[in-house]
């Protein structure tokens, strides 16, 4: 926003391109814009990926710091899981950020993130979440089974007595 002439400035052309490691909000499922509380020029754009800009996206001078890599497969070891949902800054050091995404919660000092983005610290500590798209229950009562398809976590089946089995189906999520 330009306060001098009270008009909005369109910076859309400066956003990362819609590519594997670019900006993809997944139809607004994964999207946020956050600014460093001590430096309004440092902006974070969360989508399927996470990008940081040192000039609030006034130029195309930004860098990828997590999500889908440009090549190869996403790797849990030190990387930021794709599909960003929230970001908060540490009260002690605003270079330290905490990100919530489909993989849980991770933190990093973003000033130290290299191009491959592999220095994120996992904070889940055994905390596991799943978002189920669909669930089906055996209504006959013969098997007492429940089957569900979870976002990014495949399909799962529970049979009484309680046991859980990961199912390998043609698609990663049962919908």
The full 3-state SS of 39-81, as one line of letters, equals EEEEEEEECCCEEEECCCCCCCCEEEEECCCCCCCCCCCCCCC
| Pair 2, 14: CB distance under 8 Å | no
- With bands split at pLDDT 50, 70 and 90, how would you rate the model's confidence at 131? confident
Is it the case that residue 120 has pLDDT exceeding 50? Answer: yes
Q: Indicate the pTM of the whole model.
A: 0.75
- DSSP E strands in the chain: the ranges are 32-36, 39-46, 50-53, 62-66, 84-89, 96-101, 104-109, 121-122, 132-137, 145-150, 154-159, 163-167
């Amino acid at each position: 926003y330009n306060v001098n002439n009270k008009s909005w400035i369109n910076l859309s052309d400066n956003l990362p391109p819609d590519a594997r490691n670019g900006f993809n909000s997944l139809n607004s499922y994964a999207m946020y814009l956050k600014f460093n509380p001590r430096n309004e020029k440092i902006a974070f754009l969360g989508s399927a990926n996470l990008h940081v800009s040192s000039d609030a996206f006034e130029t195309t001078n930004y860098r990828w710091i997590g999500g889908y890599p440009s090549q190869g497969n996403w790797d849990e070891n030190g990387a930021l899981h794709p599909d960003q949902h929230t970001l908060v800054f540490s009260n002690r050091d605003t270079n330290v950020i905490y990100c919530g995404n489909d993989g849980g919660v991770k933190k990093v000092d973003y000033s130290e993130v290299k191009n491959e983005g592999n220095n994120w610290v996992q904070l889940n500590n055994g905390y596991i979440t799943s978002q189920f798209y669909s669930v089906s229950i055996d209504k006959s009562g013969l098997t007492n089974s429940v089957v569900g398809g979870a976002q990014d976590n495949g399909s799962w089946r529970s049979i009484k007595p309680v046991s859980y089995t990961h199912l390998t189906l043609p698609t990663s999520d049962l919908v």
